[in-house]
Amino acid sequence: MNYKYTSKSVDDTLELAQNIESEKFPGMVICLNGDLGSGKTVFVKGFAQALGIEDNITSPTFTIVKEYVNGEAPLYHMDVYRLDDNQEFGVEDYFNKDGICILEWADLIEDRLPKERLDIAFKIIDENTRVLVFKPHGMQYEELCDAVL
């Protein structure tokens, strides 16, 4: 079952991410997909703020992974846009940690993603409006969507 959420502003997206963070659990994996400027990094910023992470959150486009360990739980923020098909960076190792993984452009490495995860597709409607489509994979993620959306 898919869920939809319409964000009418950056603040809406931040608040949604903060609400999702309130339902976090160890080993959570959130996969974000959408065009450039669709709000993926904004979502990560909101999630990180709710975790109590005070660092400036930017997309890890060239570093691939940024680790934030100074919040309530470790956050592993990944951007796999520039990853080539054969490049290894140990993504599976991050999925086996007790922190939270949020991946931007996750559809590019779909074959490496865990079976249980939350996929969120961002679609740009206009300058401020985004439609987010949530696709939970697994009971924990379905319960999360039921609780938040």
In order of 26, 33, 76, 85, 141, the CA distances from 115 in angstroms are 16, 17, 18, 19, 11
Query: What tens-digit pLDDT sequence spans the chain (149 residues)?
Result: 999 999 999 999 999 999 999 999 999 999 999 999 999 999 999 999 999 999 999 988 778 899 999 999 999 999 988 776 556 667 888 998 899 999 999 999 998 899 999 999 999 999 999 999 999 999 999 999 999 99
Cα dist from 55 to 29, 49, 51, 94, 139, whole Å: 21, 9, 11, 20, 32
Fold of the domain built from segment(s) 3-148 = Rossmann fold (3.40.50)
Separation of alpha carbons 108 and 140, rounded Å: 24
Check residue 23 and give its pLDDT: 96
pTM attached to this predicted model: 0.95
Decide: helix, strand or coil at residue 77.
Answer: strand
Domain spans, the chain: 3-148
